[in-house]
Amino acid sequence: MLRNASLNVVKHLSARALATEAAGAALVKRTALYDFHVAQGAKMVPFAGWDMPLQYADKSHVQAHMHCREAASIFDVSHMLQTRWTGKDAIEFIESLVVGDIQALAPGAATLSLFTNAQGGIIDDTYPTWTTSTTCCKMLRNASLNVVKHLSARALATEAAGAALVKRTALYDFHVAQGAKMVPFAGWDMPLQYADKSHVQAHMHCREAASIFDVSHMLQTRWTGKDAIEFIESLVVGDIQALAPGAAHAVALHQRAGRDY
């Protein structure tokens, strides 16, 4: 809930630009790994306005699924929208959009939350992450037109009330490394439960300036299921036997983990 009628968020991108996202969503976009997918013989299909790999020529869906279960796979999920909100009232604004006490999170922690409408219905899920700065919150959300429209309406309404609301879209790549051998390889084999934290909180962890692969932001949320780490920024893997799976494989693993899109 907003505690002040006026927001003082550092201006980076006008909130009105948020309203143009829906119009641009009809254009098919490409992730930073598009050329890599094509070179690997991937069958590219449109998904949420992006060209995404459905399946690779050298692996069936079953083979790709089993490779991830037994070794490791890397998913290109850069189609998901990442937003950074900055300013002394940024956390309060995020709390006006989602369910959850974001201010109760420790800096560097993330939580699964929900966008809700005026009737309390669920629009979509999201992962707000309170960074190590107390005035900055990152938000990972699906490439959903419903979410874009919702955020556009809320941003414009806030501006109309006299608040200086702006957001910054983070231009990072987003990849997920998942599999039985991935977490031990990363040297980040977290316990299922900390003595001073709940089971859920232990699964909502992120790191800034992580050393593995020289990426700047890592999360271990279990969003993608068992033994998964989410990487934000470009990821180049060396000798690890990691397979790049297609979207069909990702859905199968997501459902196996008791989740669904």
- Location of structure tokens 């799976």: 245
> What is the set of domains in the chain, with CATH numbers?
7-261 (3.30.1360.120)
Amino acid at 127: Y
The per-residue pLDDT for range 210-250, each reduced to its tens digit, is 444 444 455 555 555 555 454 444 433 333 334 445 444 44
**Residue 151 clears pLDDT 60, i.e. is over it:** yes
Averaged over 31-51, what is the pLDDT? 84
Confidence class for position 202, pLDDT limits 50, 70, 90 = very low
Rounded Cα distance between 103 and 231, Å, is 24
**Residue 199 clears pLDDT 60, i.e. is over it:** no
**Residue 27 clears pLDDT 80, i.e. is over it:** no
Rounded Cα distance between 168 and 82, Å, is 9
Position 219 scores a pLDDT of 58
Helices 247-256 and 61-70, packing angle to 10 deg = 50
Confidence class for position 89, pLDDT limits 50, 70, 90 = confident
Rounded Cα distance between 234 and 176, Å, is 11
Whether the CB-CB separation of 72 and 241 falls below 8 Å is answered with: yes
Position 144 scores a pLDDT of 65
Q: Is the pTM of this model over 0.75?
A: no
Structure tokens at 221: 């949320």
Position 255 scores a pLDDT of 36
Number of H helices, E strands in the chain: 9, 14
**Residue 74 clears pLDDT 50, i.e. is over it:** yes
DSSP track, 138-162: EEEE---HHHHHHHHHHHHHHHHTT
Confidence class for position 65, pLDDT limits 50, 70, 90 = confident
Rounded Cα distance between 54 and 116, Å, is 31
